[in-house]
Amino acid sequence: MKSIFKLSIIIISIIIVIGIIIGIYLYFKPQADISKKRADVVLKASELYNEYSSNENQANTKYLNKIVEVSGPVAELTNNPDSSLTIILRDSSVDFGLNCNILKNNTKGLNKLQKGVIISIRGVCSGYNSIEVALNNCALVK
Amino acid sequence: MKKLIFIMLMICGSLSSSAQSKYLTKTGFIGLYSHTTMEDISANNNQVASILDIATGEIIFTVLMKSFKFDRALMEEHFNENYVESDKFPKASFKGKITNLSNVDFKKDGKYNVDIDGDMTIHGVTKPFKTNGTIEVQNEKIIGKSKFLLNPHDYNIEIPNLVKSKFADNFEITVDMTYSSLKK
Measured distance CA(A119)–CA(A89) in Å, rounded = 8
Are A129 and B26 within 8 A, CB to CB? yes
Are A131 and B69 within 8 A, CB to CB? no
Say what the pLDDT of residue B2 is.
58
**How far off is chain B from A9, nearest CA to CA, in Å?**
29
Neighbours of B154 (CB within 10 A): 14
With contact defined as beta carbons under 8 Å apart, do B25 and A84 qualify? no
**How far off is chain B from A26, nearest CA to CA, in Å?**
7
Residues of A in contact with B70 (CB under 8 A): 31
Q: Which amino acid is at A128?
A: Y
**Which regions in chain B score pLDDT beneath 70?**
1-19, 160-168, 184
Q: What are phi and psi of A9, to 5 degrees?
A: -60, -45
**pLDDT at position A111 over 80:** no
DSSP tally for chain A: helices H, then strands E = 3, 6
Say what the pLDDT of residue B33 is.
93
Measured between CA atoms, the residue of chain A closest to residue B46 is A80
Best to test chain B binding among A91, A100, A131, A132 (most B CBs inside 10 Å) = A131
Measured distance CA(A119)–CA(A98) in Å, rounded = 12
Residues of B in contact with A103 (CB under 8 A): 69
Give A17-69 pLDDT, tens digit per residue: 999 999 998 888 888 888 788 999 999 999 999 999 999 999 999 999 999 99
Best to test chain B binding among A124, A126, A135 (most B CBs inside 10 Å) = A126
With contact defined as beta carbons under 8 Å apart, do B29 and B46 qualify? yes
With contact defined as beta carbons under 8 Å apart, do B47 and B61 qualify? no
Are B46 and A86 within 8 A, CB to CB? yes
Measured distance CA(B88)–CA(B90) in Å, rounded = 6
Are B47 and A126 within 8 A, CB to CB? yes
With contact defined as beta carbons under 8 Å apart, do B70 and B87 qualify? no
Are A101 and B67 within 8 A, CB to CB? yes
Give B39-78 pLDDT, tens digit per residue: 788 999 999 999 999 999 999 999 999 999 999 899 999 8
Measured distance CA(A12)–CA(A106) in Å, rounded = 41
Mean pLDDT of A63-78: 96
CA distance to A22, A133, B72, per residue, from A28 (Å) = 10, 29, 6
**How far off is chain A from B62, nearest CA to CA, in Å?**
6
Are B27 and A128 within 8 A, CB to CB? no
With contact defined as beta carbons under 8 Å apart, do B171 and B33 qualify? yes
Q: Assign B69 to helix, strand or coil.
A: strand
With contact defined as beta carbons under 8 Å apart, do A88 and A97 qualify? yes
- DSSP per residue, B95-122: EEEETTGGG--TTS-EEEEEEEEEEEEE
- DSSP per residue, B43-93: EEEEEEEEEEETTT-EEEEEEEGGG-EESBHHHHHHIIIIIS-TTTS-EEE
Nearest residue to B127 (alpha-carbon basis) of B97, B94, B160, B103: B94
Measured distance CA(B87)–CA(B94) in Å, rounded = 19
Angle at B14 between CA B13 and CA B17, to 5 degrees: 150
